[in-house]
């Protein structure tokens, strides 16, 4: 009897791809928690924030984690685009959606396909503005550090920039909201017994992220108006 070689490719499974997308999305959400906590240090003043930024940009372990996070972001973006393309190829013609889960899934696909690329564009601009841009320096205890605090606060004085930032955060909130409950669905936790709890948790987390990230630039923008 001739033996037949069977190749195992987990990425050939659409379910597995969605689970990887969900797992990477949850990792990114964890990063956003840390990023928001770090941004809140802006309210502690320039020295505290600049010292925090200095550690984040110079510590060897954090630099390794930064590269790993970049791979997670890239993998999440590419896999998301792949899934969107596959779904469109499978259903090139829209169909009539009747049930609530179907309507939600269809709206989720549309919203994720719009918010995902928009967030990616914002992320690239955001990284270029604060990570790789040439900034002035400050001296704390004979240690030269980038004055990221002044750069951030100065950026938040522009109404155009703040408006764009708020719009981007609204997209992030929408993306997180749909991504959160989709992640649980991908891992098989979508059940009538848990659906309401998952939806409320998605509402709370996405709203918390939006309020937190929007409050910071809005606060410094309004502070600039008051002082001028």
| Residue 149 pLDDT | 96
- Whether the predicted pLDDT of 189 surpasses 80: no
User: Considering the chain, what is the average pLDDT of its residues?
Assistant: 84
The H-or-E segment that residue 145 falls in is strand 143-146
Interatomic CA distance for residues 109 and 84, integer angstroms: 7
Given pLDDT bands bounded at 50, 70 and 90, which one contains residue 158? very high
Average pLDDT, integer, range 83-93:
71
Interatomic CA distance for residues 98 and 117, integer angstroms: 28
| Residue 100 pLDDT | 47
Percent of residues, the chain, with pLDDT higher than 70: 86
The neighbour count for residue 208, using CB atoms within 10 Å, is 14
Given pLDDT bands bounded at 50, 70 and 90, which one contains residue 182? confident
* pLDDT greater at residue 110 or residue 196: 196
Interatomic CA distance for residues 131 and 152, integer angstroms: 11
Three-state SS at 38: helix
Three-state SS at 139: strand
| Residue 95 pLDDT | 44
| Residue 39 pLDDT | 95
- Whether the predicted pLDDT of 102 surpasses 60: no
* pLDDT greater at residue 226 or residue 105: 226
| Whole-model pTM over 0.85 | no
């Amino acid at each position: 009897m001739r033996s037949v070689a069977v190749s195992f490719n987990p990425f050939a499974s659409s379910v597995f791809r969605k689970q990887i997308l969900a797992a990477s999305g949850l990792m990114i959400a964890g990063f956003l928690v840390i990023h928001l906590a770090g941004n809140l240090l802006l309210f502690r003043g320039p020295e505290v924030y600049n010292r925090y930024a200095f550690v984040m940009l110079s510590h060897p372990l954090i630099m390794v984690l930064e590269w790993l996070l970049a791979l997670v972001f890239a993998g999440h973006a590419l896999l998301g685009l792949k899934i969107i393309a596959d779904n469109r190829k499978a259903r090139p013609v829209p169909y009539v959606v009747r049930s609530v889960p179907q309507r939600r899934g269809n709206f989720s696909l549309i919203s994720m396909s719009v918010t995902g690329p928009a967030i990616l564009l914002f992320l690239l601009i955001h990284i270029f503005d604060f990570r790789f841009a040439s900034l002035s320096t400050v001296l704390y205890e004979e240690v030269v550090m980038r004055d990221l605090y002044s750069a951030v606060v100065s950026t938040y004085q522009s109404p155009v920039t703040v408006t764009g930032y708020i719009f981007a955060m609204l997209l992030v909130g929408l993306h997180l909201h749909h991504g959160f409950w989709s992640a649980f669905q991908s891992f098989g936790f979508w059940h009538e017994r848990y659906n309401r709890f998952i939806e409320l948790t998605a509402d709370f987390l996405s709203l918390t992220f939006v309020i937190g990230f929007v409050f910071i630039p809005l606060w410094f923008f309004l502070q600039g108006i008051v002082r001028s």
